[in-house]
Amino acid sequence: MTVGSFQIIRRANELGEDPTALSGRYCQEFLKDMDDLQCLQPTHQPRVTEHMEQIKEMIAKIMANGCAYTINGDVYFSVDSFPEYGRLSGRKLEDNRAGERVEVDSRKKNPADFALWKSAKPGEPSWESPWGPGRPGWHIECSAMSAHYLTHSFDIHGGGMDLTFPHHENEIAQSCAACRESNISYWMHNGFVNIDDEKMSKSLGNFFTIREVTRLYHPLALRYFLLGNHYRSPVNYSISQIEIASESVFYIYQTLLDSEEALSAFQQGTETAKNAKGRVTPQAQECINKLRNELKTKLSDDLHTPTILNAALQEALKLMNSCLTILKKKQQKQQHLSASLSLTELLKEVKAVLDVLGLLAGSTCAEVLQQFKERALKRAELTEEDVLHAIEERALARKNKDFARSDQIRTDLAAKGISLMDITGTTETAWRPCVRSIQEQPASPAQPKKSAAAVQEQPSAPAQPKKSAAAVQEQPVAPSQQKQPSAAPQQEQPAAASAQQDHPTVPPQ
C-alpha cells in the first residue's frame, strides 16, 4: 500500500490532505469491498511508510553492486547493468518509458533508466536518506516489501496485465541486482474490465465502483461472474451477464436450501442410511468423484475456474434435484434411503467446492436467497407488497378466466426481473428473481461518480437482512434459457416459470 504515486500526491494536494491519510482511507474502503466479495484477507498488508528502512537498504545494495547511480539526490537504476532486462515482457529496452508517465530525464545515462529514489520536491512527502531527503520510486517499494516478507525468491507474483511492462520488468531487474538468487516462479496477470465491449474509464462515462454494483446485485453474483471468466482474459461486464450470474447463484442456493429441508424432514431415514454402506447410487458417486477431480485439475491448470462452474458443478446440482424429486414421491423405502444418502453426500461435496471458490456464504441459505430477492426488488423499483398485490390481482384474473390480464401481469413483472411460479398441487404462487428485459438499460448499475475521490462518501455495504422463511416452492427453477456468454454456466434447464402462459391447454385434435 503506497503513498508515493504522483496520483495520490496530486489528489492529496487538491484536497489539502496528508497523502498518508488519503492512502489509508482508500485502503480501508478497498478492504470493505474485498470483504463483501468474500476475498480472504492477506497475512500481511505492508505499507510503504512502515518499510522505509528496508527500501533504503535495498537501494544501497543495488548501488554497492554497481547497478545504480546518483544525480543531485536522485538515484537511478542502470538498465544496461542487467543484460536480461525485458525477459518477462519480451520488450526491448528502447520500448521502455519512465514508470510514472513523466517526461524522460535528460540527465539519465539511458532513457530507460528508472528512479529508485526521488529527491524531495515542494508539496511531496519526503524521508531522510544517504542520498538526501526524498521518497522511493514506485518499483522499488514492491521489491523491498516482497523481499522483507517472502525473501528474494517466492512462488507467485500477481498484478494487472498493464503492469507487466515496465513495472514488473523493473521489479525483476532491481531485485536481481540486489540479490542474484532472486526469482519468482509464476507471474499471474489479470485481464482488463470492459463495459459492453468498451474499456471501462471515467472519460467514457462508464466508470462505476464495486459498491455501486453490489447495491443492486448480491456480492456472490459478482464473484460468480468474475470466476466465470478466466483471470487472464478480459472481463466484459454487462447487465445481461451479471443478471445471468445472479440467477445462477440463486438457483444454487435454492437447491441447497431445498436439500437441507428435505434431509431434515427425512431425518430418521437419513440416520438409518448413515449406517447402510454402499447405498449411494453409482451415478451419485461418479458425480462426486468427477466434481472432486474437476476442482483439483482445473484449479491446477492456471486457475481455470470457468470449467468448474460450467460442467461438474451444474451436473451435481441437477442430480441433487433428481434426488429431491424421488424423496417427494411415495416410492419404496430403499429408493428413499439411496436418494437420501446420495443427496447428503452431494450436498456436502457441493458445499465444499463452493467454499473453495469463495461462493459459500456465512449466512444461511434462506438468508442469502432473501438478500437476492431484496436486491431484485430494488432493481425493479418495487416493494414486496407490490409483488404480493400483483399476485392477488393475477389470481383474481385467473378465477374470472381473464387469461389475457393474467398473462400481462406475469409478463410485466418478468420484464422487471420478477418471475411468478405456481406451486404444484396448491393454489399458491411464489416469486423469484429472474433476468430482466434489458435492451434499453445502460451497463452501469448507477450514475458514475464525478471523481474517484468520492470513495469516502460511498455508503456502507448493505446490512445483512433479518432471518426469513425459506422461499416457498417445490423445486428451484434453473437459470433462464438464454444465450449464455462463454463465461456463464451452460446446463440443461427446465423452462423458466416466467415463460409459462395462463391459457388452458388446448386438447390435441
Domain borders along the chain are 6-190, 212-356
| Largest CA-CA distance found in the chain, in angstroms, rounded | 96
CATH number of 6-190: 3.40.50.620
Quick one: which of 123, 368, 325 has its CA closest to 221? 368
C-alpha cell at 345: 453426500
* DSSP calls for 219-269: HHHHHHHHHTS-TTS-EEE-HHHHHHHHHHHHHHHHHHHHHHHHHHHTHHH
Q: Which helix (H) or strand (E) holds 393?
A: helix 384-399
Phi, psi of 189 (to 5 degrees): -110, 125
Query: Are 45 and 161 contacting, i.e. CB atoms less than 8 angstroms apart?
Result: no
* DSSP calls for 299-326: HHTT--HHHHHHTHHHHHHHHHHHHHHH
Distance from C-alpha of 107 to C-alpha of 73, rounded to nearest angstrom: 12
Query: Are 177 and 82 contacting, i.e. CB atoms less than 8 angstroms apart?
Result: yes
Q: Answer yes or no: CATH 1.10.10 is held by domain 212-356.
A: no
* DSSP calls for 4-57: -SHHHHHHHHHHT--HHHHHHHHHHHHHHHHHHTTPPPPS----GGG-HHHHHH
pLDDT confidence of residue 410: 97
Q: Are strands 193-195 and 153-160 parallel, antiparallel or unpaired?
A: unpaired
Distance from C-alpha of 485 to C-alpha of 490, rounded to nearest angstrom: 9
Q: Are strands 114-119 and 134-136 parallel, antiparallel or unpaired?
A: antiparallel
Distance from C-alpha of 101 to C-alpha of 399, rounded to nearest angstrom: 70
Quick one: which of 350, 333, 332, 349 has its CA closest to 276? 333
Tens digit of each residue's pLDDT, the chain (509 residues): 887 677 888 888 899 998 888 888 999 999 999 999 999 999 999 999 999 999 999 999 999 999 999 999 999 999 999 999 999 999 877 665 444 445 567 889 999 999 999 999 998 899 999 999 999 999 999 999 999 999 999 999 999 999 999 999 999 999 999 999 999 999 999 999 998 888 887 778 888 899 999 999 999 999 999 999 999 999 999 999 999 999 999 999 999 999 999 999 887 554 554 555 548 999 999 999 999 999 999 999 999 999 999 999 999 999 999 999 999 887 666 688 899 999 999 999 999 999 999 999 999 999 999 999 999 999 999 999 999 999 999 999 999 999 999 999 999 999 999 999 999 888 899 999 999 975 445 455 654 343 333 333 333 333 343 333 333 344 455 564 443 333 333 333 333 333 334 433 333 33
